Amino acid sequence: MSEHDHDHEHDEEPTEAEARAEAERLVRKEIALSQIRQYGDPVLRMRAGEVEVFDDELVRITERMFQLMRDADGIGLAATQVGILRRFVVCTLDGEDYVLVNPVVSPVGEGTEVDEEGCLSLGAVRVPVERATRVRVEAKDVQGASQSLELKDMAARVIQHELDHLDGVLLVDRTDAESRREALSLLRPRLVLTS
């Protein structure tokens, strides 16, 4: 899932060092996004299988995914989005980093809320999506230990979004018809121009 654009309000012109740091940040973001599967890639539509082996390789991949997620200004990234069809995600929930392996998410109560979401695999698309406001998450951590979380609001939204990726579901499947049309018109021209 992608972060909202930050509001930068500077009274003064950025210094040369600040301008250079910002330019480097944008390059890192471009490089990260080029390594994340983008809309139109069939992998994004596939269902991922359970993780059965908790080894150093899993640790290494999740560390790499955290780096990509941060460089791309994201708050969640599913294995599917880096072409690995296994059920694990990395995310930052309420300021804390989590690796959630084989996550099972169930709503707590009936509450839902509609809010805009973006996705690191969907470019500039932002669409309204209805999600449960409270969820319980049962998952393994990267070592295979059980973890149980109760999440609400933004954190609940992030994990529901990432779980969708593991099932091949994207924001455009979850939004209303008009928002879907607008989103697809944003996504399609790129495919045409690059063909």
Residues that bind Ni ion (CB under 5 A): 119
Minimum CB separation of residue 140 from Ni ion in Å reads 21
Minimum CB separation of residue 183 from Ni ion in Å reads 13
Minimum CB separation of residue 162 from Ni ion in Å reads 7
Residue 148 vs 183, nearer CB to Ni ion: 183
Contact 105, 87 (CB under 8 A): no
Output the CA angle 143-91-140, nearest 5 degrees.
Answer: 30
Residue 38 vs 102, nearer CB to Ni ion: 38
Burial 144-177 (b: 16+ CB within 10 A, else e): eeeeebebeeebbbbbbbbbbbbebebbbebbee
Choice among 63, 96, 162, 182 that is catalytic: 162
Residue nearest to Ni ion (CB): 119
* Longest alpha-carbon distance in the chain: 54
Minimum CB separation of residue 165 from Ni ion in Å reads 6
Rg (CA), the chain: 17
State how far the Cα of 66 lies from the Cα of 98, in Å rounded to an integer: 9
Residue 22 vs 173, nearer CB to Ni ion: 173
Residue 99 vs 119, nearer CB to Ni ion: 119
162 part of the active site: yes
Contacts of 29 (CB under 8 A, 6+ apart): 71, 72, 73
Report residue 75 CA to chain centroid gap. Answer: 6
Catalytic residue IDs: 162
